[in-house]
């Protein structure tokens, strides 16, 4: 039965989660800033942005002195609690749960929670909300611009551009596994944060190797590795030998498919070096930095509604080299491009150009 197989898997995952997570406690007799984090259905073990958000929260909760301004005394401590959403039906109840318990800041992780954050932040105008990758929207996707909602956006194209440059260099110098000048990108769903990554990737690769062909595919899913694996396999069939995954937990299937076909893969959001031997680099989106920054603003009393954007220039995005030793000239080129993005000499595009 499908159901029982699913459950078997869930039991295994649950055992890991049960042992891996716990809430942090607070110091006695201090003003406690309570922060509630609601993950999307990817869960804490997605090795991606849900995980990173929890890392940022844990850092805030364990740091003795999170304050950076004079208005904030040492008497503050941060208590962080996490709830994982099991289905999309949980978003509103989970956000509402923290809000009704008087949490100071409620953080929703992920673009897919935008509508839920929009609804709940309207009901609780006195509670601070933050959302990773999105804004508090209505059902039609319009930003409601609630003053109590902080939108934490990223220039994913910065990170995508860096791994694109690496891919382009490898193809140009014939250091890729098959050297057909074809690389691939597997997105989850065609939504802005995914497309930013892919747009930067394509632009960076094309800049280094103008003859390169960049295949773009979508699995229409963020959770099921099998779906991403099949998109990846078809791109490998079209001679792609470097695959960039932008699909959360689903994308782990891309890394596996690349490993089995002995081609290279590139991880996303977090450093996914350990996910598969085929991972040569990861495009980083520092959700932990963003989460920490948002919590800090509440502690400092400087919280402001509206958008905060994290990029290479302010240390909120970047890349990591993983299971591949790159030559010094490639490293030099990467350093040069990183500097150019930082200084504004290069502005990676946010949108994928339509196929010609």
Minimum Å gap between C-beta 11 and other proteins is: 5
Please answer whether residues 273 and 320 qualify as being in contact, where contact means their C-beta atoms are separated by less than 8 angstroms.
yes
Based on the shown chain and the rule CB under 8 A, indicate whether residue 293 belongs to the binding site for other proteins.
no
Identity of the residue, 56 or 248, whose beta carbon is nearer to other proteins in the bound complex? 248
Residue span 186-215 as binding mask against other proteins, x where in contact by CB under 8 A, dash where not: ---xxxx--x--------------------
Identity of the residue, 127 or 330, whose beta carbon is nearer to other proteins in the bound complex? 127
Please answer whether residues 295 and 35 qualify as being in contact, where contact means their C-beta atoms are separated by less than 8 angstroms.
yes
Q: What is the C-alpha separation between 219 and 149, in angstroms, rounded?
A: 31
Q: Contacting other proteins (CB under 8 A), which of 13, 147, 226, 307?
A: 13
Of the listed pieces 184-192, 282-290, 294-302, 304-312, which binds other proteins according to CB under 8 A?
184-192
Please list, in sequence order, all residues whose beta carbon lies within 8 angstroms of the beta carbon of residue 348, skipping any fewer than 6 positions away: 155, 157, 158, 160, 161, 199, 200, 203, 204, 341
Based on the shown chain and the rule CB under 8 A, indicate whether residue 4 belongs to the binding site for other proteins.
yes
Q: Which two tokens stand for residue 155?
A: 């220039």
Please answer whether residues 144 and 118 qualify as being in contact, where contact means their C-beta atoms are separated by less than 8 angstroms.
yes
- Residue 13 DSSP class: H
Minimum Å gap between C-beta 108 and other proteins is: 13
The dihedrals phi and psi of 127, each to the nearest 5 degrees, come to: -105, 140
Torsion over CA: 47, 53, 57, 62 (sign): positive
Please answer whether residues 334 and 179 qualify as being in contact, where contact means their C-beta atoms are separated by less than 8 angstroms.
no
Based on the shown chain and the rule CB under 8 A, indicate whether residue 27 belongs to the binding site for other proteins.
no
Identity of the residue, 10 or 30, whose beta carbon is nearer to other proteins in the bound complex? 10
Residue 144 C-beta-side C-alpha neighbours within 13 Å: 22
Please answer whether residues 61 and 78 qualify as being in contact, where contact means their C-beta atoms are separated by less than 8 angstroms.
yes
Q: What is the C-alpha separation between 331 and 54, in angstroms, rounded?
A: 31
Q: Contacting other proteins (CB under 8 A), which of 50, 223, 256, 272?
A: 223
Based on the shown chain and the rule CB under 8 A, indicate whether residue 5 belongs to the binding site for other proteins.
no
Based on the shown chain and the rule CB under 8 A, indicate whether residue 26 belongs to the binding site for other proteins.
no
Based on the shown chain and the rule CB under 8 A, indicate whether residue 17 belongs to the binding site for other proteins.
yes
Q: Which two tokens stand for residue 121?
A: 């932040």
Identity of the residue, 116 or 279, whose beta carbon is nearer to other proteins in the bound complex? 116
Q: Contacting other proteins (CB under 8 A), which of 33, 35, 41, 108?
A: 41
Based on the shown chain and the rule CB under 8 A, indicate whether residue 11 belongs to the binding site for other proteins.
yes
- Residue 340 DSSP class: H
Based on the shown chain and the rule CB under 8 A, indicate whether residue 221 belongs to the binding site for other proteins.
yes
Q: How many positions of this chain bind other proteins (CB under 8 A)?
A: 58
Q: What is the C-alpha separation between 59 and 53, in angstroms, rounded?
A: 10
Beta strands 279-285; 317-321: pairing state: antiparallel
Q: Contacting other proteins (CB under 8 A), which of 2, 29, 70, 356?
A: 2
Binding residues among 71-130 for other proteins as defined by CB under 8 A? 81-84, 86-94, 96-98, 100-102, 112, 115, 122-124
Q: Of 93, 107, 95, 126, whose CA–CA distance to 54 is shortest?
A: 107
Identity of the residue, 192 or 349, whose beta carbon is nearer to other proteins in the bound complex? 192
Minimum Å gap between C-beta 134 and other proteins is: 11
Based on the shown chain and the rule CB under 8 A, indicate whether residue 277 belongs to the binding site for other proteins.
no
Q: What length does the chain have?
A: 356
Interface residues with other proteins (CB under 8 A)?
1-4, 6-8, 10-11, 13-15, 17-19, 21-23, 36, 41, 43-44, 81-84, 86-94, 96-98, 100-102, 112, 115, 122-124, 139-141, 189-192, 195, 218, 220-221, 223
């Amino acid at each position: 039965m499908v159901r029982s197989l699913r459950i078997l898997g869930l039991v295994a995952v649950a055992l890991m989660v049960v042992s891996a997570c716990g809430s942090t406690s607070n110091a006695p007799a201090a003003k406690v800033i309570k922060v509630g984090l609601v993950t999307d259905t990817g869960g804490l073990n997605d090795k991606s942005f849900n995980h990173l958000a929890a890392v940022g929260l844990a850092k805030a909760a364990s740091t003795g002195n999170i304050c950076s301004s004079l208005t904030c005394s040492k008497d503050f401590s941060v208590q962080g609690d996490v709830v994982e959403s099991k289905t999309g039906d949980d978003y509103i109840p989970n956000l509402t749960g923290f809000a009704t318990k008087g949490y100071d800041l409620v953080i929703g992780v992920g673009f897919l929670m935008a509508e839920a954050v929009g609804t709940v932040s309207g009901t609780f105008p006195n509670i601070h909300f933050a959302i990773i990758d999105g804004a508090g929207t209505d059902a039609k996707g319009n930003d409601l611009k609630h003053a109590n909602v902080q939108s934490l956006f990223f220039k994913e194209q910065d990170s995508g551009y860096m791994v694109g440059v690496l891919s382009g260099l490898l193809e140009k110098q014939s250091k890729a596994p098959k050297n057909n000048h074809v690389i691939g990108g597997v997105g989850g769903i065609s939504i802005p944060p995914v497309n930013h990554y892919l747009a930067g990737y394509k632009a960076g690769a094309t800049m280094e190797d103008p003859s390169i062909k960049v295949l773009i595919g979508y699995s229409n899913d963020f959770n099921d590795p099998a779906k991403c694996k099949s998109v990846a396999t078809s791109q490998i069939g079209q001679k792609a030998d470097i695959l960039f995954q932008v699909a959360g937990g689903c994308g782990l299937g891309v890394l596996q498919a690349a490993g089995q076909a002995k081609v290279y893969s590139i991880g996303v959001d977090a450093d996914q070096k350990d996910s598969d031997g085929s991972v040569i680099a990861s495009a980083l989106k520092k959700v932990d930095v963003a989460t920490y920054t948002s919590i800090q603003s509440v502690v400092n009393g400087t919280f402001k509604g509206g958008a905060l954007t994290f990029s290479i220039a302010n240390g909120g995005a970047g890349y990591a080299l993983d299971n591949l030793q790159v030559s010094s000239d490639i490293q030099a080129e990467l350093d040069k491009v990183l500097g150019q993005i930082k200084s504004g000499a290069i502005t990676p595009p946010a949108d994928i150009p339509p196929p010609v």
